[in-house]
Structure 1
Amino acid sequence: MSVDNRTPFPAIAFRQFNLAGDLLGVVAARGTFLLSPNGPLVPAKVQAPLVLADTYDGDPHQAPMLFQSDLTPFKPGTDVTFIGAAHSPDGKPQPSWSCGIRIGPVAKRLRVIGPRKWHAKTLRKRGWFAQGEVEELDEWRLSKPDPVQYVPIDWRLAYGGRLPGHADPGPKGCYEFNAIGCGIADDEKFQEVREISAPQIESLDKPITSPAGKWQPEGLGPIPPWWNQRHQYAGTYDDAWLEQRHPLLPKDFDFRFWQCAHPDLIATPWLKGNESYELENLAFRHPSLKGWLPGLQMRVRLDRGAGLQDAAMVLDGVHFDLRPSGARVYLTWRTAFPWPERRGLPIVECQGEMAEAA
């Protein structure tokens, strides 16, 4: 749905039912910015288009999520997400190091590690009813990591993946908090699979010490909607919902479902848009990259037949994309308002001093 866009950033309007069944209008805008060390984010001369569907780096059930759809109706807080890699502080191969991101009141630090394996250590015991010896699993031993210069911040390198003993080839047979991860061992198949990849991303405070248990997968990237971090807020879709509520959302739907960042990186309430940030070992050749958000205020004006009304848009997404294809930061703003009859054309405006486009 079109808008009267008076900003340099792409914007869109669409309508969405709220939990009460009322039609709301939603206006979303997405700005593309460049990093400016020790300065504010700078608008890019070429603005990336709106993202109209969740985007993945391949098969959504095997590859990480890269971008969330801009057609998200509402977020109660600001998502801070990052895709890219952690780089060793001195540029030389190292077995492990720390990295992290801080922006305003939220921060998260991780430990990244070079490639390593869980190896099955076995014992041989004399069998009770068979001749010869029987091989048994004693423990899984973790190898020393290989030194590397960088580690991708990728959910495939965090704890998770397929669960032992599950025949379901789909998501139900995977770890509910990270379906595409690694490091889960199947003790029953140790003779067939004697080594498995161990996670290369973990908490600074709680290092992974075994390939079993419900370890919290650690990362900075967007989280898909069917992982438990988000799915727990989706509500109940049962026969009662189908008969009494459909096509509305369930009454127990929680709008935190739309937050796609790691829970540690959700700012509630929203960021104001002028906060400082710091990237620790997440930018190539910049062990500590500091700057601040551009301080822009986005607004929507609309005349629905009763005079012009004005509403502020909240900053609900800060997404750092520092992949080698080109460093970009994407900011998303959003607002919603009653719009049952779709009267008027939303006017999107930007306030604040904007750094020169780069």
Structure 2
Amino acid sequence: MDFVNHTPFPAQAFEGIDQYRRPFHVVVLRQTLSFAAGMLEYADVQAPLCEGDVCFGELSGASVRQESDLCHYKPKCDVIVNATAYAPPGKPRTCFPVRLRVAKPDTPAPLPQRPQGLNQFENAAPEIMARWRKAVQHAEQHPVPGALLINKTLIVNGPRQFKKKAGITLGLHGMLRLSTLGMLRFNPWKLTDAKQVLTLPLRYEHAYGGECRIGAGDPAAHHLPHKQRIALAARTAQPAHDNAPVRPAALHSVFEPNPRGTGYVEPLYLRATRTRTIAAPQIEQFGTPLCARQFWQALRGRLKDAAQGKPSAFQPAGFGIRAGSHPIRRALAGTVDQTFINGDDALPTDFDFAFWNAAPPDQQTDFLHGNETLELINLCAADTPGATPDRDGNTTLRLKLPGHECFVLGRQKSGTLFRQALALDTVLLEPEERTLTLVWRGILPKDADAPLRCCEARMHGHEERDLAQREVDFLDRSTGAAESTQSRTAEAPP
């Protein structure tokens, strides 16, 4: 199949395959828009298609900034925001909210019916007509707000720590526990007050998660029980990062939903390292704050809710990409057992294409179509073009997606011509760079009985799209009427 790109945007066609070994054609197109002038417009320089996962900075251990555009299919649209949180109104605070909203386009309000006089030839009384004109003006100025597709709020905190309580306090707790025969257990940890913060990059490094690691040569390794130490064979099997030499570990545990975060710790690590202070996460889910009691419960092995994706204080909070190693997302990749490894299938039979949706579940929505509104609150600097303050000093940035549609024009070898719209399945917003990226994707059948000769990528506005659809509907009705007439003529007696 030949592929021709008639748009000024980078696009590519390639072959995909599903879990049942059925091949299909994939067309992907990427648009880069800029709001440096205060409103969205197509950028003069279009970024190329992303062909591999890109992390923040140059370290492979950093969180993911964007994933490859060359995936085969996404069943929903990802709305991803790589932003920095800014305290309102430009003054440091101990905590403040940040919010992402995505809404459908507003629709015109219904206009009130024109009043009539005593008959159809006369107008109503002047005062009635004046009230009607005022009602019409109000309806024209106040459209019906579009339905909210995404409405997500996070809480940003200043630096804070989990600290072990003083020895005297712990001693009193121990005496009380002994006096109650162990029936009462007191929390030995406290959460310090948050310091003030002005800005914070919203990355998963500042959300709950992390890892505990003690090197085999560290002094703390001598305090580990022999049964708890990683065996020598397992130590040498641990992968290295950035081609660095492998460093054996005596203890290594990871919070799988977010290995890059902070706040996760194991009791064995605390005892071996004599650690009394742990940095607390600075980004939390709205309505589920992490407190010292929950931290203590986590040390006692109560972290199942986070692994199962239930709303909890241990669920990593952010607006960015949820890594493919997350247990919930990883499960969508299907069963990778020895049978699959030894076979020649491209995908496991239980593979779910929802695996390619990289945004958190509450940032996934039905495919967008254009003209939707994106609203960011405290996710950009106050001097960002197009941003406005509200009555509470929060910085609000509203962007309206362009009313355009990308589509492909397919030409089969038989001469049949067809049109298929591409789905807008990825929206990547980066306020610091003043850019918005849209990724469109389409799936075309690969049929040996009706092979494609050529596929052309094109774009038009919604008005052109609607006009073309009306013409197609008219031709269909005309063709149907003609066929019906011919059928009746053929059935009529001579």
TM band (smaller chain) = 0.7 to 0.9
The correspondence for 1:348, drawn from 421, 437, 457, is 457
CA distance, structure 2, for counterparts of residue 12 and residue 261 of structure 1: 23
Offset, 1:37: 8.6
- Distance in 2 (alpha carbons) for counterparts of 1:58 and 1:272: 33
TM-score by length of 1: 0.87
- Show the 5 A alignment for 1:285-300: 285=382, 286=387, 287-300=395-408
Deviation string 1:266-315 (CA, Å, 9 cap, x unpaired) is 00x21222211110100110411112111211101121313222111000
RMSD in angstroms over aligned alpha carbons?
A: 2.7
- Whether contact under 8 Å (1:36, 1:291) holds in the other structure is no
Which residue pairs with 1:49 in the alignment?
48
Does the alignment pair 1:187 with 2:267? yes
| Structure of higher CA gyration radius | 2
Helix, strand or coil for the counterpart of 2:188?
Answer: strand
1:311 matches 2:311 = no
Looking at structure 2, the residues matched to 249 and 86 of structure 1 have their Cα atoms a distance apart, in angstroms, of 39
DSSP 3-state at the match of 2:429: strand
In structure 1, the residue matched to 2:354 is 256
Preserved contact between residue 80 and residue 318 of structure 1 (Cα < 8 Å): yes
Counterpart residue number, 1:220: 319
> For residue 25 of structure 1, what is the aligned residue in structure 2?
25
Query: 2:212, 2:445 → 1: CA distance?
Result: 45
Code of the aligned partner of 2:340: W
SS in 2 for 1:277: strand
Larger helix percent: 2
Residue 237 of structure 1 aligns with which residue? 336
Q: Is the 8 A contact 1:2 1:12 kept in 2?
A: no
Q: How far did 1:8 drift?
A: 2.1
- 1:344 deviates by 2.6
- CA apart distance, 1:19: 2.2
The Cα shift of 1:351 comes to 1.0
Q: Aligned equivalents of 1:350 and 1:199: distance in 2?
A: 44
The structural deviation recorded for 1:187 is 2.8
Question: Which residue matches 1:63?
Answer: 62
Question: CA contact under 8 A between 1:37 and 1:290: conserved in structure 2?
Answer: no
Tell me whether 1:146 sits opposite 2:208 in the alignment.
no
C-alpha deviation, 1:140, in angstroms: 2.0
Matching residue of 2:446: 339
Q: Name the SS for the 2:83 alignment partner.
A: strand
Give ranges in structure 2 of 5+ residues lacking alignment: 104-148, 176-184, 214-227, 241-251, 307-313, 388-394, 464-494
User: What's 1:197 paired with?
Assistant: 279
More strand by share: 1
SS in 1 for 2:354: helix
User: Match for residue 131 of structure 1?
Assistant: none
User: Which residue of structure 2 lines up, in the alignment, with residue 129 of structure 1?
Assistant: none
How has the CA–CA distance of structure 1 residues 312 and 77 changed in structure 2, closer, same or farther, with 3 Å as cutoff?
A: same
Q: Which residue of 2 aligns with 1:272?
A: 369
Q: Is the 8 A contact 1:61 1:180 kept in 2?
A: no
Aligned to 1:133: none
How far the C-alpha of 1:230 sits from its partner, in A, is: 1.4
Q: What CA deviation, in whole Å up to 9, does each residue of 1:184-212 have, x standing for no partner?
A: 13333156221111100001110011332
Q: Which amino acid is the alignment partner of residue 292 of structure 1?
A: K
Give, in whole Å, the separation in 1 of the partners of 2:396 and 2:260: 30
C-alpha distance in 2 between matches for 1:20 and 1:42: 41
Equivalent residues of 1:22, 1:340 under 8 A apart: no
Matches of 1:6 and 1:21, distance apart in 2? 31
Could you tell me how far apart the structure 2 residues matched to 1:59 and 1:107 are? 32
Aligned with 1:272: secondary structure? coil
The one-letter code of the counterpart of 1:300 is: V
Q: Secondary structure at the match of 1:231?
A: helix
- Aligned residue type for 1:28: V
Report the counterpart of residue 282 of structure 1 in structure 2. 379
Q: Is the 8 A contact 1:316 1:333 kept in 2?
A: yes
Moved more, 174-183 or 333-342: 333-342
Change (3 A) 1:340 1:102: same
Please state whether the residue corresponding to 1:303 is helix, strand or coil: strand
CA distance, structure 2, for counterparts of residue 166 and residue 260 of structure 1: 35
Q: CA deviation at 1:97?
A: 0.1
**Which moves more between the two structures, 340-349 or 256-265?**
340-349
Normalising by structure 2, report the TM-score. 0.64
Kindly provide the amino acid, as one letter, of the partner of residue 115 in structure 1. Answer: P
1:3 aligned residue: 3
CA distance in 2, matches of 1:166, 1:348: 58
Contact 1:75–1:255 (CA under 8 A) maintained in structure 2 = yes
Q: Deviations over 1:150-180 (max 9, x none)?
A: 1110000000111587957669832121111
CA distance in 2, matches of 1:16, 1:336: 9
**Aligned partner letter, 2:203:** D
Match of 2:431 in 1: 322
1:131-170 matched pairs, under 5 angstroms: 138-162=187-211
Distance 1:249 1:351, change over 3 A: same
Deviations 1:30-75 (A, max 9, x none): 1101237985x31111111110011112577621101110101100
Q: Which runs of 5+ in 1 are unaligned?
A: 127-135
Following superposition, the deviation at residue 224 of structure 1 comes to: 1.8
Change (3 A) 1:266 1:37: farther
Whole-angstrom CA distance in 2 between matches of 1:236 and 1:26: 25
Question: What is the number of residues matched between the two proteins?
Answer: 340
